[in-house]
Amino acid sequence: MKFLRTSIFPLLISFLVFSCTPEENTGYYSTATNEALISALDEVMENQIEMGRIAGGVVMISQGDRIIADNAWGWKNMEDEQPMETHHLFRTASMTKAVTSAAILQLVEQEKISLDDPLEMYIPEFAEPVVLTSFDAETGTYETRPATESITIHHLLTHTSGIAYGFTNRTFGRIYGEAGVPDLGSEAELKIEESMANLGPLPLAHDPGERYTYGLSTDVLGRVVEVASGLSLAEYFSANIFEPLVMHDIGFYLPGREDDLTRLYSIRDSVLVVYPEETTGIGANFPVRGAMTYYSGGAGLTSSTADYHTFLSAIHHGGSFNGNRIMDESTVSMMTENQIGDFNLGGNKFGYGLMITTDEGRTEGKRATGSLSWGGAFQSTYWIDPEHDLIVVIMTQVMPALGQTEFYDRLERAIYETIE
DSSP secondary structure of 202-271:
SPBSS-TTSS---STHHHHHHHHHHHHHSS-HHHHHIIIIITTTT--SEES--TT-GGGBPPPEEEETTE
Distance CA 254, CA 65 (A): 28
Claim to verify: residue 348 and residue 278 sit in the same structural domain? yes
Claim to verify: residue 180 and residue 51 sit in the same structural domain? no
Claim to verify: residue 261 and residue 380 sit in the same structural domain? yes
Claim to verify: residue 302 and residue 409 sit in the same structural domain? yes
Domain boundary among 178, 198, 230: 230
Distance CA 12, CA 403 (A): 33
Q: What's the DSSP call for residue 28?
A: P
Torsion, Cα of 308, 222, 324, 367 (10° steps): -40
Rg of the Cα trace of the chain? 21
CB 184 within 8 A of CB 296: yes
pLDDT tens digit sequence for 377-405: 999 999 999 999 999 999 999 999 999 99
CB 390 within 8 A of CB 419: yes
Domain boundary among 196, 230, 264: 230
Say what the pLDDT of residue 28 is.
33
Say what the pLDDT of residue 256 is.
87
Claim to verify: residue 248 and residue 330 sit in the same structural domain? yes
Q: Residue 349 is inside which H or E element, if any? A: strand 349-350
Structural domain for 242, as ranges: 5-20+29-95+236-419
Domain boundary among 230, 260, 288: 230
Claim to verify: residue 333 and residue 409 sit in the same structural domain? yes
CATH number, position 414: 3.40.710.10
Claim to verify: residue 223 and residue 175 sit in the same structural domain? yes
Long-range residue pairs from 109-113, CB within 8 A, at least 24 positions apart, any chain: 109/327, 109/328, 109/331, 112/228, 112/229, 113/153, 113/224, 113/228
Q: Does 400 sit behind a cis peptide bond, omega within 30 degrees of 0 on the bond before it?
A: yes
Q: Does 287 sit behind a cis peptide bond, omega within 30 degrees of 0 on the bond before it?
A: yes
Q: How many domains does the chain have?
A: 2
Claim to verify: residue 251 and residue 225 sit in the same structural domain? no
Give the pLDDT of the chain (420 residues) as one tens digit per residue.
Answer: 444 555 443 333 333 333 333 333 323 334 556 899 999 999 999 999 999 999 999 999 999 989 999 999 999 999 999 999 999 999 999 999 999 999 999 999 999 999 999 999 999 999 999 999 999 999 999 999 999 999 999 999 999 999 999 999 999 999 999 999 999 888 889 999 999 999 999 999 999 999 999 999 999 999 999 999 999 999 999 999 999 999 999 999 988 899 999 999 999 999 999 998 665 567 777 888 889 999 999 999 999 999 999 999 999 999 999 999 999 999 999 999 999 999 999 999 999 999 999 999 999 999 999 999 999 999 999 999 999 999 999 999 999 999 999 999 999 999 999 998
**By CB neighbour count within 10 A (0-12 exposed, 13-18 middle, 19+ buried), where does 366 fall?**
middle
Claim to verify: residue 212 and residue 163 sit in the same structural domain? yes
Say what the pLDDT of residue 125 is.
98
Distance CA 215, CA 118 (A): 18
pTM, full prediction: 0.92
Claim to verify: residue 244 and residue 369 sit in the same structural domain? yes
Q: Which of 38, 48, 39, 4 is closest to 404 using CA atoms?
A: 48
Helices (H) and strands (E) in the chain, counts: 11, 18
Distance CA 149, CA 156 (A): 13
CB 366 within 8 A of CB 413: yes
CB 231 within 8 A of CB 200: no
Claim to verify: residue 299 and residue 263 sit in the same structural domain? yes
* Parallel, antiparallel or unpaired: strands 66-77 and 5-7: antiparallel
Say what the pLDDT of residue 103 is.
98
Q: Which of 228, 252, 227 is closest to 238 using CA atoms?
A: 252
Distance CA 334, CA 344 (A): 18
Distance of CA 224 to the CA centre of its chain: 19
CB 102 within 8 A of CB 327: yes
Claim to verify: residue 226 and residue 240 sit in the same structural domain? no
